[in-house]
Amino acid sequence: MPQPIIEVRDISKKYQLGKIGMTSFRDEIGRFTDRLRGRQASTKPDETEFWALRDISFDVQPGEVVGIIGRNGAGKSTLLKILSRITEPTSGEICMRGRLASLLEVGTGFHPELSGRENIFLNGAILGMRKQEIARKFDEIVAFSEIGGFIDTPVKRYSSGMYVRLAFAVAAHLEPEILLVDEVLAVGDMDFQNKCLGKMENISHGQHRTVLFVSHNMTAIRRLCSRCVLLERGSPSRVMSVNDAVEYYSTRHAASASTVSLEDRERYSKQGRTARLLSIGIENSQLAYGRPAFITVTFDLKESTKGVMIGMGFDTLEGQRILTLDSDTNSQAWDLAPGRHTVRVGLDYWPLHPGSYKVSTAVISGHNCLDSVAGAAIWEVQTSEADNVSDRGFGAVRPKPLASLVS
């Protein structure tokens, strides 16, 4: 096996909350003198230790794309800043074998008073490239960034979208062996994000360069990466296959729990008297595009009722109805006795594009709505290995069509 291009060993980063930028020059001199004399610095009651990272270890092979995932505050950006040598770790060591370019924040490394043209040459020089090398790539960078008409304008007048277009174009085209990319791409529009993802695929697979990619977009992580470093605040990192990491992250951090109690939710008018919804839940705790998915609804009936069915609606967070599931579409409605009942409704191929959806449910008898809960849960539809065309970005519902070549 080749020598790793990145070796991270037991990296930890500690901050003193309430101390950064809050001490006088005299205080700093005193603390520095104490350290030289081997004394422990005094701790005031308002000082609090905060470990942004603790015992992070992993290797990255040349040409590999590794995703770094975790909730907000897990330490992803801190790790990239340490790898970029913007900040120093409290403990641990890093060995990097290659020229590094990083895209951590909009405009990182740009001088606001310089034009886009001048910043391209400045960034190339920082990466250790010769002027002739930068000039050879210049037209390609400008074309990719799509800001040709503004290339001689000072970047302080750029919008955030223009900043990120040029910043990514520079970082991707100036031939670093290692490229670090934070969630900054979320600033760009959808077409440009897809363009950047395609470029990163080409960088890693076509040019055999190494990419570390931080994102909350699990579709992009699954598309680009072969492994993931999973960060959780205050815990050692875990290196997992991309499928295992995405499923673990998605299952633990969905917007609502996979099973939601409905007993105490607000009802409309007289609903909830004859029938009362008790809970709604996802079998196997996850909805994933292209996989079988089933949802169970539990309710109580106060009296014998004919023609009972369960309805469910999936809306965007803006309130647009995307998908409706009715239990009597493919089977008969039920005549049910008083008591507790559970209905299972689902699909063999879940068609919703990955994203967040608001779920509503109802118990219906004929034309009468016996009970309903709007916005019962907000559930995340995850990506899966079946999700191999989502980067085309067309539509919220993508069923599995029947297709054949007829001529």
Q: Tens digit of pLDDT for each residue in 120-169? A: 998 888 777 788 888 998 999 999 888 888 999 998 898 877 888 888 88
pLDDT at residue 45, rounded to an integer? 43
Q: In percent, how much of the chain has pLDDT > 90? A: 34
* pLDDT exceeds 70 at position 231: yes
Q: If you search the block for the tokens 């608001």, which residue do you land on?
A: 358
Give me the pLDDT at residue 46, please.
45
pLDDT of 24 reads 61
pLDDT of the residue at 185: 63
Q: Please name each of the domains of the chain with its CATH number.
A: 6-252 (3.40.50.300), 259-392 (2.70.50.60)
Q: So what's the pLDDT on residue 337? A: 96
Query: Which of the pair, 295 or 246, is modelled with greater confidence?
Result: 295
- The residue with greater pLDDT, 269 or 366, is 366
| Whether the predicted pLDDT of 357 surpasses 80 | yes
Note the pLDDT tens digit of each residue in 110-130: 888 999 999 999 888 877 778
